[in-house]
Amino acid sequence: MHRDLYNTDHRAFRDTVREFVAREVTPHRERWDSAGLIDRTVWAAAGTQGLLGLAAPQQYGGGGSDDFRYRMVVIEELLAADAASLNAGLSVQDDLVLPYVVDLGHAAQRQRWLPPLCAGEAIGALALTEPGAGSDLLGIRTQAKPRAGGWVLNGQKTFITNGVLADVVVVFARTDPAAGSRGFTLFLVDATADGFRRGRKLNKIGLRGNDTAELFFDDLELSEGDVLGTVGSGFGHLMERLPRERLSIAATSLASAQVVFDQTLDYVAQRKAFGKRVDSFQNSRFVLAEMATELDIAWTYLDRSIRLLSDHLLSPIDAAKSKWWMSDLQQRVVDRCLQLYGGYGYMLEYPVARAYADARIQRIFGGTNEIMKEIIGRDLVR
């Protein structure tokens, strides 16, 4: 696995993560996938081990480090253990929800939610997508209307990662239909509030262990103190934080592709066809050579992007490039690796089959890859 990016501290942290995964994750992964739900206890264990809130301030129980390489270590070790579902949930917590609360939360919000989120005692979700609006965020219909002392929230969200377990939800809502992109606001919603309702736990083809749900808001009353950031600036707040989300997706894609490639390299050295090792055929060697080269090149670009993010210099354009390229590469690599397994690659008992199903969503969420290309293209021709 790629190591050039890491120093002694990261390698020591990797030992901690690897021990945690062996103890708290590997024995339970199959059960979580079968149930479509991950035990809350593993979240608390991750918090106790210091694997959550890595970039959150230490005064709230976080790690206090903007170095994304620590997050990368967690991502790599979870994917190496075939725990993509848990990785998806923890990534939403650390790369989406926590940055919103850290950056935009007022003192009371930070004090209430950061300690339990960092400790794994609370689970967070980000509610953007709706049945009729995914990548087109300006098309959302969930609405918060002003009332005396606050707001009344009504609407529906779908495909919400951590939606079943979430204790707190960052909700994107329309607050001024006439104001265009300035007519949206973020709210921090307590899942115990009257008017908050969970719908179905959605049945997905991949990431089977991660809970994905519909959420409903029925005349849910919010105070002014529940506004996250500035009223009317919700869309801008999203745009400012999308680079981290998209880099997290890119990092997951590349780490998964690398794990599958490494496993396949071992497999074709052991598997025989026509009396020969599969890796002895020229076609196999050419396919492996192409994948190895593409992965090495991708790691170089991702390493650069991670350093830019840690220095707060990663642009939305660079993040879009990383997201679409790495997720497309993941799809290509996993598909070609599965082909080298032959019929066994189609069996769910093999990690490559599960990785194949898990990989497909990477090109969709966080903004579809078509949207990523539009972002890059607009920047080129503006």
Please say if 221 is a catalytic residue. no
Q: What is the CATH number of the domain that holds 98?
A: 1.10.540.10
Q: Is residue 347 part of a domain?
A: yes
Low-confidence stretches of the chain (pLDDT beneath 50): 1
Question: In terms of domains, do 191 and 316 share one?
Answer: no
Question: In terms of domains, do 64 and 141 share one?
Answer: no
Distance between CA atoms of residues 156 and 80, nearest Å:
35
Bin 50: left if φ > 0, else alpha if -120 < ψ < 50, else beta. Answer: left
| DSSP code of residue 379 | H
Q: Is residue 361 part of a domain?
A: yes
Question: In terms of domains, do 241 and 356 share one?
Answer: yes
- Domain ranges, residue 25: 8-122
pLDDT at 3: 58
Q: Is residue 73 part of a domain?
A: yes
Q: Is residue 104 part of a domain?
A: yes
Q: Give CA separation, 231 vs 99, 195, 360, in Å.
A: 18, 21, 35
| DSSP code of residue 112 | H
Question: In terms of domains, do 129 and 105 share one?
Answer: no
Q: Is residue 3 part of a domain?
A: no
pTM over 0.85: yes
pLDDT at 196: 98
Interacting residues of 92 by C-beta distance below 8 A, sequence separation 6+: 124, 125, 126, 161, 162
Q: Is residue 1 part of a domain?
A: no
pLDDT at 135: 76
Indicate the helix (H) or strand (E) that contains 373: helix 369-381
Question: In terms of domains, do 227 and 255 share one?
Answer: no
Cross-strand pairs, 272: 277
DSSP H helical ranges for 233-368? 234-270, 282-310, 316-341, 351-359
Question: In terms of domains, do 38 and 146 share one?
Answer: no
Question: In terms of domains, do 84 and 135 share one?
Answer: no
Q: Count structural domains, the chain.
A: 3
pLDDT at 106: 97
Question: In terms of domains, do 208 and 173 share one?
Answer: yes
- Strands of the chain, DSSP E: 124-127, 143-147, 150-161, 168-174, 184-190, 196-201, 212-223, 227-228, 272-273, 276-277
Question: In terms of domains, do 242 and 377 share one?
Answer: yes
Q: Specify the 3-state DSSP secondary structure of 90.
A: helix
Q: Specify the 3-state DSSP secondary structure of 127.
A: strand
Q: Which of 212, 232, 252 is the last residue of a domain?
A: 232
Question: In terms of domains, do 118 and 130 share one?
Answer: no
Q: Which of 181, 200, 232 is the last residue of a domain?
A: 232
pLDDT at 1: 47
Q: Is residue 250 part of a domain?
A: yes
Distance between CA atoms of residues 124 and 215, nearest Å:
13
Q: Which of 232, 260, 281 is the last residue of a domain?
A: 232
Half-sphere exposure for 128 (CA within 13 Å, toward CB)? 18
Q: What is the CATH number of the domain that holds 154?
A: 2.40.110.10
Q: Residues 245, 349, 370, 374: which is the catalytic one?
A: 245
Q: Is residue 265 part of a domain?
A: yes
The backbone torsions φ and ψ at residue 231, rounded to the nearest 5 degrees and listed phi first, read: -60, 130
Distance between CA atoms of residues 259 and 308, nearest Å:
24
Question: In terms of domains, do 108 and 191 share one?
Answer: no
Name all contacts of 198-202 with Cβ < 8 Å and 24+ positions apart. Answer: 198/163, 198/164, 199/156, 199/158, 201/36, 201/37, 201/163, 201/164, 202/158, 202/159
Question: In terms of domains, do 161 and 295 share one?
Answer: no
Q: Hey, what are 25's tokens?
A: 């994750």
